[in-house]
Chain A
Amino acid sequence: MRHLMSILLVTIVISGFCFAAEHPEQRKDPVVADEPGSAIGAPTALRLRIVPDGFQLDWTLSPQDPGAVTGYEVVRASVFSGPYETVGNVGTGISSFIDRTAKPEAIYFYKVRALAGSRYSPFSREAAGEMPGTP
């Protein structure tokens, strides 16, 4: 069984490599930078999971956190093409947010970006989720 688990783990790691190669972050949104050479790196690896009272979103901090980053903005849409609306802001060093406003039985798309004062990073790749309803 341990051997099987090892194979599975290696498979996942290789798969993760492939994922990164095929899906570079920042492919969807233009960089918003107001000063040459001072672009803020996007948060990456946005993940979503259902928790008892909503969706929990976790991400990897921007490369400029700690550094220039002053916080993160989480946005949400019910259609992939948008429009996206802000559903939360968290401070620097925080890589998690719970959205308690989502309705069950509806698909939501999320993305997150880093803030640095009045500047923004590109958005992360999207994550999506759908909470079950109660019959």
Chain B
Amino acid sequence: MKVKKVLKNWLALGALLSLAAGTAFAQGIPFPGSKIPQFVDPLPLLSAAGGSMETVIAGSGEITLNMLEFQAKMLPPTFKPANGLPYTGTWVFGYRVGPTTAPATAVDTYIGPVIVATRNQPTQVRYVNNLTASNIFWREWTDVTLHSAFHQAYGIEMPAPFITTHYRGPVLAVPHLHGGEDPAVIDGGPEAWFASDKPGLDAISVSHGPAYYAGTDVVGTLAGTPRAAALNEAIYRYPNTQEAAPLWFHDHLLGGTRLNATFAGLAGAYALIDPSLTLPAGLDPVGLGGRLSVPLVIQDRMFDTNGQLFFPNIGINPEHPYWIPEFVGDTIVVNGKTWPYMNVDRQRYRFYVIDGSNSRPYDMFLQDQVTGIKGPRMWVIATDGGYLDKPVLIDPNATGAQTKAGVQKSLFMMPGERYEVIVDFNDPLWLAAITTAYAGVVPNPLNIILRNTAPTVNGNPKASTEGRIMQFRVSATAPADTSYNPAGGTPIRTGNPGSPKIVRLADPVLGTLAAGVTANKTRELTLVEIAGLGGPLEVLVNNTKWMAPLSEVMTEGETEVWEIVNTTMDKHPIHLHGLQFQLMNRQPYDPKAFMAAYNLAFTGGVLIPGSGPPLPYSPTDVGYNAAVQGGKFGGNPDITPYLKGLAVPPLASEAGWKDTVMMNPGEVSRIAVRIAPQDKAINATDLYWTYQPNALNGVYVWHCHITDHEDNEMMRPSQFLPNPVAARTYLQGTDY
């Protein structure tokens, strides 16, 4: 009966939309990235450093971020559109501080702002959805057959396959603070969306997602001038109680994150600093030696011949006519500019690196454009969730002995991951090699390329295009540099008062739970690809669709081990909301043997797509077989009999707080997840946040951060039940 009703709703909607479909405008002809001149535009820097990227120092006031459609100068000024008009910018979405109207002329970059927030001082952000899609081809990229906000806005609960009309209502959006420890209702989950007040081509019947939370104007209330969120607004007041970390925020629309956030441009950085943290001399809370950190938001794009964003909306299966499994662009964009350059002196710089792409990973090192000499060296000083205990060397010239000892030759990132790195452009080892290579006459400037060698579904990156990220022009000037030198052996976290070391859930050397840590639960969960006629129809976590009832219900104060069995042929960056976790290890398994057992565990002996795991989920469920399932939660055959080889500890660069971790095909990735604030001691008795994580029955999500995957079912809700002994000081309705 329900199916019949859904079909009738879709039938009525299809008939309605078909009447107006002919009015749609179409994106143009794709323009090969190889034709775009490289290293023409300078890298947009923070406005606080004299650049164009908006910087906001969060204080006690409210920050208003307007989501707007505007033009940004993504391409070099020499670009000549095919339509014969001068290039005036590329239409994008972005967050802008201040006026609710879009900039009249093209801005330098759509990336941003960069919010600098201070630990233990809440930051109130009023997000305003003023988006239009008058010029950007956003509607043409939407696919209403995905489980998405788009059919929800039309009042239709469930999607139907094969529908080839696009979404035509007002633009929908919801901002998510990625990596934030915050109450679920202000986490900006995919169903907390809210519609723009600017009308679309069709009216919609629902303007807010089922998880929408308007928020509380605490700042206005304290000032005696409270202003409730308008219908196109949400007020999120972040508690900022977690450790200093390179967070970021981006749109998280159900079924539309790949369009809004990682493609159209709704993304910024959120640098959480901790003035009470004692850092080594010369390492500043947001910089190095008095120089501000340089954000590097790395993305890929495709353009049309008019210089506008081009999204290949070629569905590989008729069920989802506009969805492709992974968008891979042929143009690299950093801070909103195609292949930019940055002038640097011979000194150390700190970078805040974000992989903000749909699906493209980056495997990075520096290399001289002319001689091929690799370097200079770089050091990772922070991961997604905070500082490492000591810097981790990335040396592209590492010897075999060094690599055996754990030195990495490159830095690998997947979408959603962040690293903070220090690059020493005065690296003596590198300078010696360069000077020799140039026979003592080193060019000024010396042009160094940030290279990328990570393959995608399109194969290996071409060295001349996607194999290049940006250029550094190194001058011959070597100012006196008193900044923190990561090569000197000084740790970042000493363990002394004011400089606590990372609370270890996982032992980074042994690849086990850390001493003293015990898991209350172990969950074994799978990543499963569902085949369609033309390729992947969808990818699922634990063979479970978004709409299925909650299954990953955790309890605040407990520690869990998640064993995620990747049965697909792809790497997936798996992201958990609401907390920071640690990678324990990765271990190969026998995919054929496990999949045989996995298939057999289903009724009928073969995988039933989207039906959930094959066996009872919980050890207390009827029919649970501890011998087969290993006593684990998750509903899957125990992976243990199928393991091969050794469990490998994380790379040194990953051995810190993470919220997004790469999971390789043919491996089980184990993460230690403690449902508690990251800085609490292992044996603490107050393992709870200042806020109730599930206030108003709020839920988080966990998902693949390949946004094309998460938009098509590779995402599940999760919930943290409150610790019964918790005492809260950050209250819903009062503080957020």
Residue A60 is within 8 A (CB to CB) of chain B in the complex: no
A74 to chain B, nearest CB (A): 15
Contact of B32 with A15 in the complex, beta carbons under 8 Å: no
Q: Mark B327-341, 1 if CB is under 8 A from A, else 0.
A: 010100000000000
> Of A3, A14, A50, A80, which is within 8 A of B312 by CB?
A80
Within 36-81 of A, Cβ neighbours of B (below 8 Å) are at 47-50, 55, 78-81
> Of B160, B458, B534, B595, which is within 8 A of A127 by CB?
B534
Contact of A18 with B165 in the complex, beta carbons under 8 Å: yes
Which residues of chain B are near A4, meaning CB under 8 Å?
3-4, 7
Contact of B312 with A109 in the complex, beta carbons under 8 Å: yes
Contact of A81 with B32 in the complex, beta carbons under 8 Å: yes
> Of B10, B457, B567, which is within 8 A of A130 by CB?
B457
Contact of A22 with B22 in the complex, beta carbons under 8 Å: yes
B689 to chain A, nearest CB (A): 40
> In the complex, what distance in Å separates the CA atom of A17 from the CA atom of B11?
13
A20 to chain B, nearest CB (A): 9
Residue A12 is within 8 A (CB to CB) of chain B in the complex: yes
Query: Which one of B88-96, B313-321, B406-414, B644-652 is at the A interface?
Result: B313-321
Which residues of chain A are near B438, meaning CB under 8 Å?
none
> In the complex, what distance in Å separates the CA atom of A11 from the CA atom of B8?
9
Residue A117 is within 8 A (CB to CB) of chain B in the complex: no
Query: Which one of B12-20, B124-132, B222-230 is at the A interface?
Result: B12-20
Q: Is the interface of B mostly helix, strand, loop or mixed?
A: loop
> In the complex, what distance in Å separates the CA atom of A127 from the CA atom of B321?
10
Query: Which one of B23-31, B205-213, B371-379 is at the A interface?
Result: B23-31
> In the complex, what distance in Å separates the CA atom of A40 from the CA atom of B26?
23
> In the complex, what distance in Å separates the CA atom of A11 from the CA atom of B534?
22
> In the complex, what distance in Å separates the CA atom of A131 from the CA atom of B26?
29
Residue A23 is within 8 A (CB to CB) of chain B in the complex: yes
> In the complex, what distance in Å separates the CA atom of A17 from the CA atom of B16?
12
How many chain B residues touch A (CB < 8 A): the figure is: 56
Q: Which residue of A lies closest to B531 (CB)?
A: A132
Which residues of chain A are near B324, meaning CB under 8 Å?
107, 128
Contact of B457 with A106 in the complex, beta carbons under 8 Å: yes
Which residues of chain A are near B22, meaning CB under 8 Å?
21-22
> In the complex, what distance in Å separates the CA atom of A104 from the CA atom of B595?
19
Within 1-42 of A, Cβ neighbours of B (below 8 Å) are at 3-4, 7-8, 10-12, 14-19, 21-24, 27-29
Q: Which residue of B lies closest to A131 (CB)?
A: B535
Q: A107-B316, A126-B314, A135-B592 are in contact. Are A19 and B7 (CB under 8 A)?
A: no
Contact of B666 with A135 in the complex, beta carbons under 8 Å: yes
Which residues of chain A are near B7, meaning CB under 8 Å?
4, 7-8, 11
Which residues of chain B are near A126, meaning CB under 8 Å?
312, 314
Contact of A48 with B666 in the complex, beta carbons under 8 Å: no
Q: A14-B14, A128-B324 are in contact. Are A80 and B314 (CB under 8 A)?
A: yes
Within 106-135 of A, Cβ neighbours of B (below 8 Å) are at 106-107, 109, 125-133, 135
Which residues of chain A are near B531, meaning CB under 8 Å?
50, 132
Which residues of chain B are near A16, meaning CB under 8 Å?
164
Which residues of chain B are near A129, meaning CB under 8 Å?
316, 534-535
Which residues of chain B are near A107, meaning CB under 8 Å?
316, 324-326, 328, 457-458, 535
> Of B164, B318, B326, B569, which is within 8 A of A22 by CB?
B164
Residue B570 is within 8 A (CB to CB) of chain A in the complex: yes
Residue A105 is within 8 A (CB to CB) of chain B in the complex: yes
> In the complex, what distance in Å separates the CA atom of A48 from the CA atom of B314?
11
Which residues of chain A are near B459, meaning CB under 8 Å?
78, 106
B206 to chain A, nearest CB (A): 21
Contact of A7 with B314 in the complex, beta carbons under 8 Å: no
Within 21-71 of B, Cβ neighbours of A (below 8 Å) are at 21-22, 24, 26, 29-33
Residue B536 is within 8 A (CB to CB) of chain A in the complex: yes
Contact of A128 with B330 in the complex, beta carbons under 8 Å: no
> Of A21, A24, A78, A82, which is within 8 A of B32 by CB?
A82
Which residues of chain A are near B534, meaning CB under 8 Å?
48-50, 55, 127-130
Q: A128-B316, A132-B529 are in contact. Are A14 and B11 (CB under 8 A)?
A: yes
B359 to chain A, nearest CB (A): 10
Contact of A130 with B8 in the complex, beta carbons under 8 Å: no
A24 to chain B, nearest CB (A): 8
Residue B627 is within 8 A (CB to CB) of chain A in the complex: no
> In the complex, what distance in Å separates the CA atom of A22 from the CA atom of B143?
13
Q: Which residue of B lies closest to A17 (CB)?
A: B18
> In the complex, what distance in Å separates the CA atom of A104 from the CA atom of B140?
29
Which residues of chain B are near A125, meaning CB under 8 Å?
314
Residue B200 is within 8 A (CB to CB) of chain A in the complex: no
Q: Which residue of A lies closest to B665 (CB)?
A: A135
Contact of B21 with A22 in the complex, beta carbons under 8 Å: yes
Within 153-186 of B, Cβ neighbours of A (below 8 Å) are at 160, 162-166
Residue B439 is within 8 A (CB to CB) of chain A in the complex: no
Contact of B535 with A15 in the complex, beta carbons under 8 Å: no
Contact of B31 with A127 in the complex, beta carbons under 8 Å: no
Contact of B321 with A19 in the complex, beta carbons under 8 Å: yes
Contact of B29 with A29 in the complex, beta carbons under 8 Å: yes
> Of A10, A11, A49, A128, which is within 8 A of B315 by CB?
A128
> In the complex, what distance in Å separates the CA atom of A15 from the CA atom of B163?
5
Within 664-706 of B, Cβ neighbours of A (below 8 Å) are at 665-666
Which residue, B31, B534, B536, has most C-beta atoms of chain A within 10 A?
B534
> In the complex, what distance in Å separates the CA atom of A49 from the CA atom of B330?
25
Contact of B533 with A18 in the complex, beta carbons under 8 Å: no
Residue B113 is within 8 A (CB to CB) of chain A in the complex: no
B90 to chain A, nearest CB (A): 15
Within 76-131 of B, Cβ neighbours of A (below 8 Å) are at none
Contact of B595 with A28 in the complex, beta carbons under 8 Å: no
> In the complex, what distance in Å separates the CA atom of A40 from the CA atom of B567?
47
Contact of B330 with A105 in the complex, beta carbons under 8 Å: no
Q: A81-B32, A130-B457, A135-B567 are in contact. Are A15 and B312 (CB under 8 A)?
A: no
Q: Which residue of A lies closest to B316 (CB)?
A: A128
Q: A50-B533, A130-B325 are in contact. Are A22 and B32 (CB under 8 A)?
A: no
Which residues of chain A are near B567, meaning CB under 8 Å?
135
> Of A3, A21, A79, which is within 8 A of B18 by CB?
A21
Which residues of chain B are near A104, meaning CB under 8 Å?
569
B592 to chain A, nearest CB (A): 6
Q: A7-B7, A78-B458 are in contact. Are A130 and B162 (CB under 8 A)?
A: no
Contact of A18 with B32 in the complex, beta carbons under 8 Å: no
Q: A107-B324, A130-B457 are in contact. Are A28 and B29 (CB under 8 A)?
A: yes
Which residues of chain A are near B4, meaning CB under 8 Å?
3-4, 7
Q: Which residue of A lies closest to B25 (CB)?
A: A22
Contact of B312 with A27 in the complex, beta carbons under 8 Å: no
Contact of B29 with A22 in the complex, beta carbons under 8 Å: no
Residue B591 is within 8 A (CB to CB) of chain A in the complex: yes
Contact of A18 with B17 in the complex, beta carbons under 8 Å: yes
> Of A7, A29, A132, which is within 8 A of B11 by CB?
A7
Contact of A105 with B164 in the complex, beta carbons under 8 Å: no
Within 526-546 of B, Cβ neighbours of A (below 8 Å) are at 529, 531, 533-536
**10 closest A-B pairs by CB:** A130-B535, A135-B591, A19-B164, A81-B30, A80-B312, A133-B569, A129-B534, A21-B21, A49-B533, A14-B14
25 contacts between A and B (CB under 8 A): A7-B7, A7-B8, A14-B11, A14-B18, A16-B164, A17-B18, A17-B21, A18-B17, A18-B21, A22-B21, A27-B26, A49-B534, A55-B534, A79-B458, A80-B312, A81-B32, A81-B310, A105-B457, A107-B316, A127-B316, A130-B325, A130-B534, A132-B529, A132-B531, A132-B536
Sample of 16 more A-B contacts, CB < 8 Å, known A4-B7, A81-B302, A105-B570: A7-B11, A15-B14, A15-B164, A17-B18, A22-B24, A50-B535, A80-B302, A80-B312, A81-B33, A83-B32, A109-B312, A126-B314, A128-B535, A129-B534, A130-B534, A132-B531
